[in-house]
Structure 1
Amino acid sequence: MSQTSEVTAPHESPGAEEEVIGYFRAKADGYDLVDEQVYWRLSDELLWEALERYVLPSLPQGGRLLDAGGGTGRWSDRILRARPDLTGVLYDLSPDMSRHAAEKAERGGYQDRLTIVNGDLMNVAADLAGQSFDLVISFHNVLGFVARPTEVLRQLGSLMNIGAQMALVLPNRYHTAFFNITVGNLEEARSAVLDRKGRFTPDMPSMHLFTPVELQGDLARAGLHTQVRTGFPVLVYPGYQETQLEGSSSGVLRTLSDPEHYERIRELELHLMGEASMAERGNNLFFVARRGA
């Protein structure tokens, strides 16, 4: 089995931490069902293409990966399978989620190359002291759920080798407002615009939201130079059903269920990928940054 440890460092907002743990405990066993939803299949294909274009080619042989907030290991699994020369650490708050990551590692035969650590990202630099990484990934809403995202970015940057890369997928403030307007939740749209915090469903914890300009500045202050600033998907957006673990919204099905339409839309998304002007349009923000000397 993958080596697993739990760190019990203090958290400044235990109520918020417990809310996040409870949310993901309830989601853990069914979380990977999103792989079967046509919208998230497209989103995942675009993210993997982005990694193959902008990240993996410059990752050194024998490098080390940190999956910060890696959950069930969906992305460390793909990377470690694609690159058998890599070793890594999956660091996540939720033991319920990371249990599934350990099972993936066992099935994939890379359990000796992945260490799983349970802890709060607000303490990641101390918890992983003495270790260093060539690639740090933190995908989807992870940094939205921490107490102080800029502090976590600083700590993650401190764990990176010179020249190492960080790849981020983060909740887009503009899309969060748009989404809540489309589902009739104007209070959440107002929160996204005025407070830079929001959520997509009533049962999820409120998240910090990000804009491209603000994120690029936060990365610079952490000593990280932005190389790629974009967003995805930019032409097709999720409906309410895509916030659930199963099912698809009728509009999404009309757009993506036909294989020919799906492939043509995917080609258009890939054509736009990497354009900085697409960041504001993305359901997700996608950034790649490098640590300088």
Structure 2
Amino acid sequence: MTDVLDYFRKKADGYDQVDEQVYWRLSDELLWEALRERVLPEIPRGGRLLDAGGGTGRWTRRILLERPDLSCVLYDLSPDMTRHALAKAEADGFPDRLTVLNGDLMDVAKRLDDQRFDLVISFHNVLGFVADPDEVLRQLAALMAPGAQLALVLPNRYHAAFFNVHVGALEEAETAITGSRGRFTPDMPSMHLFTPRLLEKTLLGLGLEVAVRSGFPAFIYPGYQETQIEGTSAGVSRSLSDPADYARILELERRVLGEPDLAERGNNLFFVARSGR
């Protein structure tokens, strides 16, 4: 995992600048709407959140501010990332509701064995970077309380192939399709990629009910610049720089948010699964 730690050590201090990139603002608006409508209302009062691979705490912060009754364990490999999560919790006045633990997600069940959570989240490329995603999903499922939810945002194998064809990295596109691993830039570690069918099979095999099987954004994709912390690709700028166009595209995405048919098309896969009561 040294390459993963080194990768995020270099990005940690500037990581939250992605909030200033117009594409990721759109993507985050869609994810937040999906969470507020489909996930957060189901969490019992006084519930517990596990942010698996929560990094700088971007999503932990949003959820804890939205739901002052919740507490959270943020578990992440990189101390360089999680120190920012702790600073945010202190600044926002909820350090008593956030516990940060550093460690490999391959050991998460052992580290948290006596705890159960009402919501487990793991967003973006986190499960792509672990040694065995199926094993980590098994461990996360074991940490879910009865009736709990598991919300996942994962790298889509089909989008990875499309992206690499788009930027001329044909060997990476071939690897994504034939080997189910890939990367979006030469400097990032190779990671696992996911398909809707195989992910759904894994979740069902763990005894979970798949409540949402979808993907987003579906109608606009990032360019190379969106893989960096700063900057906007020309195509994204043409589509989203005008506020009126941004609003119209956002509304189009909202209309189909959560539809199962979009799973293969989304830049990211978005799944929500529930444990039995």
TM-score (structure 1 length as normaliser): 0.94
Residue 27 (structure 2) pairs with residue 38 (structure 1): no
Query: Secondary structure at the residue paired with 1:39?
Result: helix
1:176: which partner in 2? 160
- 1:126 aligned partner, one-letter code: K
1:169 CA drift (Å) = 0.1
In 2, Cα distance between the equivalents of 1:185 and 1:107? Answer: 42
RMSD of Structure 2 on Structure 1 (CA): 0.5
What is aligned with 2:132?
A: 148
Structure 1: gaps of 5 or more residues: 1-16
For residues 185 and 233 of structure 1, the distance between their equivalents in structure 2, rounded to whole angstroms, comes to: 22
Q: Which residue of 2 aligns with 1:52?
A: 36
**Residue 272 of structure 1 pairs with residue 256 of structure 2:** yes
Mapping of residues 1-293 of structure 1, within 5 Å: 17-293=1-277
Kindly provide the amino acid, as one letter, of the partner of residue 148 in structure 2.
A
Identity %: 69
Count of matched residue positions in the alignment of Structure 1 and Structure 2: 277
Consecutive aligned runs of 4 or more in structure 1 exceeding 2 Å deviation: none
Provide the secondary structure at the position in 2 that maps to 1:166: strand
1:68 & 1:222 partners in 2: Cα distance?
A: 18
* Offset at residue 53 of structure 1 (A): 1.4
Aligned mates of 1:217, 1:158 — CA distance in 2 = 17
What is the deviation of 1:292? 1.3
- 1:127-173 superposed Cα distances (whole Å, 9 cap, x missing partner): 11101100000000000000000000000000000100000000000
Q: Secondary structure at the match of 1:163?
A: strand
Residue 9 of structure 1 corresponds to which residue in structure 2?
none
CA distance in 2, matches of 1:223, 1:128: 20
Write the distance in 1 (CA, Å) between the matches of 2:215 and 2:242: 24
Deviations 1:255-279 (A, max 9, x none): 0000000000000000011110001
List alignment gaps of at least 5 residues for structure 2.
Answer: none
Q: 1:11 corresponds to which residue? A: none
Provide the rounded CA distance (Å) in 1 between the counterparts of 2:58 and 2:7. 18
**In structure 1, C-alpha distance between the alignment counterparts of 2:42 and 2:219, rounded to whole Å:** 29
Offset, 1:239: 0.3
AA paired with 2:108? V
